[in-house]
C-alpha cells in the first residue's frame, strides 16, 4: 500500500472519488468510498481508538483482521474490526475500551 496520491489526470484506471462522512464518537470525519473505517481514522490523524486491558492505546496492528486490536462499534453492532469494514456514508462509530475496571 502506498501513501502517495495518484493524480486524476495520470490515473490509468480512471478512478473517481466519492466522498463520505462518518461520525466517530460524535466527531464527523471525511473519507472516500472504498476506505475502511480504520483508513478514515488513520487519514484523520487518529492512531489509536481503543484501550486494551492494561489501558494501553490500541488501533491498527495487523491491518488484515487477525488481531482484533481495532475493534469499534458501528451503527450499534459491537466488536466490528475497523480494518475490515468499509466505511459507508452516515456510519456512526463508537470507540470501545477494555481497560481494567470498565465494562466491555
Q: What CATH number should be reported for the domain holding residue 74? A: 3.10.20.440
> 96 near 48, Cβ under 8 Å?
no
Instruction: For residue range 6-24, list pLDDT tens digits in order.
Output: 666 777 777 778 899 999 9
Q: Say if 8 falls within a structural domain.
A: no
Q: Say if 9 falls within a structural domain.
A: no
Average pLDDT, the chain: 86
Total domains in the fold of the chain:
1
Q: Say if 68 falls within a structural domain.
A: yes
> 18 near 1, Cβ under 8 Å?
no
Q: Say if 88 falls within a structural domain.
A: yes
Instruction: For residue range 41-72, list pLDDT tens digits in order.
Output: 999 999 998 888 888 888 899 988 898 889 99
Burial of 41 (0-12, 13-18, 19+ CB in 10 A): buried
Amino acid at each position: 500500500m502506498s501513501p502517495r496520491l495518484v493524480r486524476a489526470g495520470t490515473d490509468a484506471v480512471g478512478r473517481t472519488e466519492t466522498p463520505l462522512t462518518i461520525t466517530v464518537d460524535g466527531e464527523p470525519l471525511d473519507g472516500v468510498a472504498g476506505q475502511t473505517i480504520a483508513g478514515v481514522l488513520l487519514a484523520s490523524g487518529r492512531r489509536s481508538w481503543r484501550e486494551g486491558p492494561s489501558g494501553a492505546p490500541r488501533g491498527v496492528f495487523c491491518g488484515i483482521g487477525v488481531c482484533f486490536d481495532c475493534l469499534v462499534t458501528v451503527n450499534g453492532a459491537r466488536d466490528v474490526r475497523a480494518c475490515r469494514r468499509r466505511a459507508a456514508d452516515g456510519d456512526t462509530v463508537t470507540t470501545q475500551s477494555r481497560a481494567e475496571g470498565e465494562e466491555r
